[in-house]
Structure 1
Amino acid sequence: MPDRPDYPALTRGQIAVLDRVNAGESGLPVLQQLVRLAQDVLGARGAGFAEYTGGHGRIIAATGVCKPAVGRRVERRLEGTGRTQLIPLDSVNDEFARQIEGGDLRHMLGARCEAEDAFAGSLHVYFGADAGEPGAEHHAVLELLAGHIGRLYRLGAGLPVHPAPAPEEAGAQADRDLWVAVTSHELRTPVTVIKGYADTLTNHWDTLGEPGRREAVRVIGNRAGELARLVDRLLSAASDDGVVGSAPAGPFDLVEALREAVGELPADLRRRIELGRMPGDLPKAYGNRDSIATILTELTTNAEKYSEPDTTVELCAGMDDDVLRFRVADRGVGIAPEHVERAFERYWQAEGGDRHHHPGAGLGLYLVRRMVERQHGWVSLRPREGGGTVAEVRLPRA
C-alpha cells in the first residue's frame, strides 16, 4: 500500500465517472467503475460494494481478490457513528473474511454509502499483510468515493439492484406466492426429465438397443425417486408458513454428483455438455447432494436456451481455499453487466428479450440462488470473455 493515495489517478477516474453519468449512464456499470477506482487509487488488493435492503446485504460489485464474492450475502456492517472503519480481518467472524484473510490479507477498510440519509450499502477495500495501516488520507479518499456511490443511489437509475422488500402487510401473500413458485418449479424439473426419457423410449424403442433402453429406464427410476422425495419435503413444509423445507445437509462428492447429474440430463442437452477440468481428488463439499441435479439442470437449460444449437456448454469444477465451485459456461447471447444481479430476481427477464424464442417465467435463477444459499453457498453470473455467460456456484467445504 502506498503511503499516500494516487491523487492523479483519483482525478482522472472521477472525471471518467462524471463523463459517463453526464452521458446518461448509471447503475451497476458505473458503480463497478468506482469500485475499481477505489482499489487502484488506494493500492489495495481488492475492493467490493455490498448493497443492503431489508435485513441483509449482498455483494453486487467487486474487483481483485474480492471478485469471487460477487452475489454473496453478507452481514450488515458499518452502521456505527463513523463514516469509515478499519477492521482487522482476523477479528471478523465471517466465512468470506476468514477465507481471504487466509490468502495473506490483513485489513479491511470500509466506508458507509448513504442516499437521502438512508444506508444504501458499504464500500470496502482490502490490504495485504505486507501493508501498513491506512492513514487519514486513505480514509478520506474512500469516504469521497462512497459519497459518489451514494449519489448514484440518489439518482435512482438502475439502483438499487435489489429493491426494498414488500411492505410487512404483504408478507403473508408473498410467502404464499413463494411457496407456490418453489413447489411448482422444483417439481417441474424431475417431471420434465421423466417425460423426456419416456418420449425417447416411445419414439425410438427399436433404435435405442437394449443398453439405451436400460439407461433410459434407470434415469426415469432415479428421477421418480427424486420426485417422491420432493413431494414428501414440500408436503412437510406446507404447514410451516409456506417456507420450503430442505433435506439434511452433509458431506458429498461434488464431482461425482455433477457427473451423475449430467448423465440424467435430457439427451439433446447432454450431448452439448463438454466436461472441462473435474478433479477426482477434491475434498468433500457440504450441502444437499440431491439439489445438485436440480441446480445443474436449471443452469444448463438456461445456457442451452440462450445459445445456438451447434455450440457447447462447458462444465468444470474446482476449489478455492475452503470453497468448492463448479461453473457452467456457454457461448450464447451473453449477459449485460447491469443484469448480472437482476437476473436472480423472481419473474425478471431481460428487457427486449424474445419471449417466443426464450420462454419462461423468470423463476429458474431465482430458485437456484435460494437452493444454493440454503447450503451457505452463493451463485453468480458474469459475462464470458469472447462472448457468452458464466454461471458459478460455490459451496462450503465439509
Structure 2
Amino acid sequence: MPDRRPDYVTLTRGQIAALDRVNAGEPGLSVLQQFVRLAQDVLGARGAGFAEYATGHARIISATGVCEPALGRRVERPGNPAVLPLDSVNSAFAGKIEGGELRHMLGARCEMNRIVVGSLHVYFGDDDDPGPEHHAVMELIAGHLGRLYGRQAGLPVHPEPAPEQALRQEDRDLWVAVTSHELRTPVTVIKGYADTLTNHWETLGEAGRREAVRVIGTRAGELARLLDRLLSATTDDGSVGTSAAGPFDLAEALRAAAGELPGALRGRIRFGDLPPGLPKAYGNRDSITTILTELATNAERNSEPDTPIEVCAGTDDDTLRFRVSDQGVGIAPENVERAFERYWRAGDNGRQPGAGLGLYLVRRLIERQNGWVSLRPRDSGGTVAEVRLPRA
C-alpha cells in the first residue's frame, strides 16, 4: 500500500486561516468544523469526525466526507476519559459510515488543561497507509481543538447531563409535549367542523352535514384512544411509558404523517426521492407524525410562505434516513447543535417564534429509537434536517 505524506502546504495555509478566525473571536463550533475538514484534506483521508465528550457518552458534532452520515449521533464512552480506548468510539462511529470501504482509522484525544474534551477521528481506505507523519499531524490538529475549548467560545456545545431527578422531570415534560401535540390535531379538526356545522348548516346540504359528522366522530375516537394512553402511560414512580417499537414502512409513514399536517403547511410539502422497495425502518411508527410535524413546522417558520418544503428518504448499509429541506434563512453553523437545546430559539426573523421545544422533542424521540438527527445549512440556501433510524 502506498505511504502518502501529508499535504504540509495545505496544513500551513489551513492553520493560518483557522487561527485568524479564532483571533477574530468567531464561534468555536464553526472553527472546529474547519479544523476537522482540514484534517481530512491534509491527510488525504476519506472522512473525519469529532466526538465531543460528556459524562457517560459522546456526540459527533462535526463530520466530513464519508463520515457525514454520523453527524449528530450519540455514542457511548467509558466513564474514565483518561483511559479511553479510541476504538470504543470508533466501533460505534464507524459502524454507521456509508460505503464499508474504510480500513484504517487514526484517532487523537483533544485535551484542555489535561481534561479530555473529545476525540478527533480520521478514516482511510484500503489503499491508504497512514504513517508516523500522519499521527503527528493528527496530534497537532487535536491540540488546536483542545485549545478551542479553552477559549470557551460556544464550546462545549452540550451541557453536562442533569441529575436523576431532573431527568425524570424531563421525561414527564417529553410525555406532556408529545401528548399535547397529538391532542392538538383532532381538537382543531373537531372545532373546525363543529364551527362549519354551526355557521353553514343550511348551505352544507345533507351530504356535507353527514361528512362533517363523520369526521367529528372519527376524530373523537382518536381523542378517546389518546386519553386511554394518557391514563396508562405514566407509572406510579413518574416514569414515562412508550409505544412498542417494531418494523415499519418509512415512506408510507411519511406520506401518512404529511396528510396530518395543517392545511397550509401540508400544501407546501413536496416529496422528492422516495425509492420504492426501501427496507423497513425499526422504531416507533407513531412518532413519525410528531417528528415530521415539528421539522416541517420549523421549516415553515424559517422560510417564505410560497417556497416548498421537500421531504425525501433513502438508505445505506445500516440506516434509513429522511430529510426535510427548506429554502429559508438557513441556520448558522454555530447553531446546528444549539438548536436542539430545550427552549433555545434563533433571533427574531420577523415570523411567529416557536417555544423552543420542537427540535428538543424531536431529538429525544429519535434517540429513544436508537437513531439520531442533525441540522446543516443547505448548499443553495435554507436548512436540511436529516433523521437516521436503524434498519429492521
TM-score (norm 2): 0.90
Partner of 1:100, secondary structure, is: coil
Query: Are positions 1:358 and 2:325 aligned together?
Result: no
Unpaired runs of 5+ residues, structure 2, are none
2:167 aligns with one of 146, 170, 175: 175
Give the RMSD, CA atoms, in angstroms. 2.6
1:315-334 equivalences in 2 (<5 Å): 315-334=311-330
| Kept in 2: contact 1:54–1:165 (CA 8 A) | yes
| Kept in 1: contact 2:103–2:126 (CA 8 A) | yes
- CA offsets per residue over residues 294-319 of structure 1, 9 Å max, x none? 11111111111222222221111111
- CA offsets per residue over residues 230-249 of structure 1, 9 Å max, x none? 4145323xx34x44332111
Matched with 2:9 is 8
| Kept in 1: contact 2:190–2:220 (CA 8 A) | no
Matched with 1:281 is 277
Partner of 1:17, secondary structure, is: helix
1:1-398 equivalences in 2 (<5 Å): 2-76=3-77, 79=81, 93-94=91-92, 96-100=93-97, 103-132=100-129, 134-166=130-162, 168=163, 171-172=164-165, 174-205=166-197, 210=208, 213=212, 216-217=215-216, 220=219, 223-224=222-223, 227-228=226-227, 230-232=229-231, 234-236=233-235, 239-240=236-237, 242-350=238-346, 352-353=347-348, 357-398=351-392
* Alignment partners' CA distance in 2, 1:292 and 1:80: 39
- CA offsets per residue over residues 180-227 of structure 1, 9 Å max, x none? 421321112122211321233134455887497478448625742662
Q: 1:131 to 1:88 in 2, by over 3 A?
A: farther
Q: 1:379 to 1:81 in 2, by over 3 A?
A: closer
Higher mean C-alpha displacement, 319-328 vs 218-227: 218-227
Q: 1:212 to 1:388 in 2, by over 3 A?
A: farther
- CA offsets per residue over residues 112-160 of structure 1, 9 Å max, x none? 001121110000000001222x211111110000000000000001111
Partner of 2:95, secondary structure, is: helix
Q: 1:341 to 1:101 in 2, by over 3 A?
A: closer
Q: 1:212 to 1:353 in 2, by over 3 A?
A: farther
| Kept in 2: contact 1:331–1:388 (CA 8 A) | yes
| Kept in 1: contact 2:104–2:124 (CA 8 A) | yes
TM-superposed CA distance for 1:374, in Å, is 0.7
TM-superposed CA distance for 1:340, in Å, is 0.4
| Kept in 2: contact 1:276–1:314 (CA 8 A) | yes
TM-superposed CA distance for 1:80, in Å, is 5.8
* Alignment partners' CA distance in 2, 1:81 and 1:182: 35
| Kept in 1: contact 2:109–2:142 (CA 8 A) | yes
Letter in 1 for 2:185: V
| Kept in 1: contact 2:105–2:122 (CA 8 A) | yes
Letter in 2 for 1:228: L
* Alignment partners' CA distance in 1, 2:259 and 2:218: 8
Letter in 2 for 1:353: D
| Kept in 2: contact 1:181–1:363 (CA 8 A) | no
Sequence identity of aligned pairs in percent? 61
* Alignment partners' CA distance in 2, 1:380 and 1:250: 23
TM-score (norm 1): 0.88
Q: 1:335 to 1:102 in 2, by over 3 A?
A: closer
How many residue pairs end up in the alignment?
A: 383
* Alignment partners' CA distance in 2, 1:323 and 1:176: 29
* Alignment partners' CA distance in 2, 1:233 and 1:125: 47
* Alignment partners' CA distance in 2, 1:226 and 1:131: 57
Partner of 2:150, secondary structure, is: helix
Unpaired runs of 5+ residues, structure 1, are none
Letter in 2 for 1:332: G
* Alignment partners' CA distance in 2, 1:283 and 1:225: 33
* Alignment partners' CA distance in 1, 2:135 and 2:83: 15
